[in-house]
């Protein structure tokens, strides 16, 4: 999927582990001044689907987005990496293409979007090492895992350089791993 499709759909899929392809896509979106602000891992053993939600609200008010016809470019991008083959049984990610551009919907205080606003979603049934790059505003959900084996997924989050989100702490022995990172590390503190 191309960079243009990332803007249109709100996500793209890159085969294999995080690599230069991923960093090059982030650089095309943000320019050379972007940084890592979150590094997490989740284990899905959920017996029910999550509700559809967005991880953040739009930066601009909905009325301004409607007036100008665009929510603007992404300020934050999330990169998810599957650590095993993932499918309908073990809790694959479900995403709503283009939803980062939607303006006619209702959202509650927890960021949950009523299913009546979902016309089409895509299940990301992908092999181990697949990378999903998504605009943080794109609607999505985790799905139920009917197996007894957790589905693991790494999540790294990046931001455009001027949008400051605080510091990220890593253990001191991680410094050598990040010394030549292709993104800014101004916010990383080694403890």
Give yes or no for residue 136 having a pLDDT over 80.
yes
| Confidence class for position 75, pLDDT limits 50, 70, 90 | very high
Higher pLDDT, 84 or 72: 84
Residues 6+ apart with CB under 8 A from 139: 52, 53, 54, 95, 96, 99, 100, 102, 113, 118
Pick among 3.90.180.10, 3.40.50.300, 2.60.120.620, 2.40.160.40: CATH of 3-162 = 2.60.120.620
How many helices (H) and strands (E) the chain has is answered by 4, 10
pLDDT at position 178 is 83
| Confidence class for position 10, pLDDT limits 50, 70, 90 | low
For 86-100, letters b (16+ CB in 10 Å) and e give beeebbbbbbbbbbb
Residue identified by tokens 């139920």 is 144
Please give the order of strands across the beta sheet that includes 76-82.
11-14, 131-135, 76-82, 151-160, 34-44
Residues in the chain: 191
Stretch 1-29: mean pLDDT, rounded?
Answer: 67
Determine if the pTM surpasses 0.95: no
Tell me the per-residue pLDDT of 19-70, one tens digit each, with 9 for 90 and over. Answer: 678 888 999 999 989 999 999 989 999 999 999 999 888 888 888 888 888 8
- φ, ψ of residue 80 to 5 degrees: the values are -105, 140
| Confidence class for position 164, pLDDT limits 50, 70, 90 | very high
Structure tokens at 100: 């980062």
Torsion of Cα atoms, 49 then 10 then 27 then 24, to 10°: 70
Do residues 38 and 155 lie in contact, with contact meaning Cβ atoms separated by under 8 Å? Answer: yes
pLDDT at position 5 is 59
| Domain boundaries defined on the chain | 3-162
């Amino acid at each position: 999927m191309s960079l243009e499709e990332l803007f249109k759909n709100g996500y793209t899929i890159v085969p294999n582990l995080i690599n230069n392809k991923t960093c090059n896509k982030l650089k095309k979106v943000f320019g050379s001044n972007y940084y890592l602000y979150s590094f997490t891992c989740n284990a899905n053993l959920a017996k029910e689907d999550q509700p559809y939600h967005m991880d953040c609200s739009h930066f601009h008010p909905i009325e301004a987005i409607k007036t100008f016809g665009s929510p603007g470019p992404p300020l934050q991008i999330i990169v998810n990496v599957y650590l095993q083959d993932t499918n309908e049984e073990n809790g694959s990610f479900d995403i709503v293409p283009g939803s980062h551009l939607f303006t006619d919907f209702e959202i509650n205080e927890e960021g949950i979007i009523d299913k009546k606003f979902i016309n089409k979603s895509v299940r990301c049934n992908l092999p181990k090492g697949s990378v999903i790059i998504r605009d943080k505003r794109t609607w999505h959900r985790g799905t139920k895992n009917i197996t007894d084996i957790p589905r693991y997924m790494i999540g790294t989050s990046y931001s455009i350089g001027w949008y400051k989100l605080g510091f990220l702490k890593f253990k001191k022995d991680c410094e050598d791993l990040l010394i030549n990172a292709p993104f800014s590390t101004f916010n990383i503190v080694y403890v």
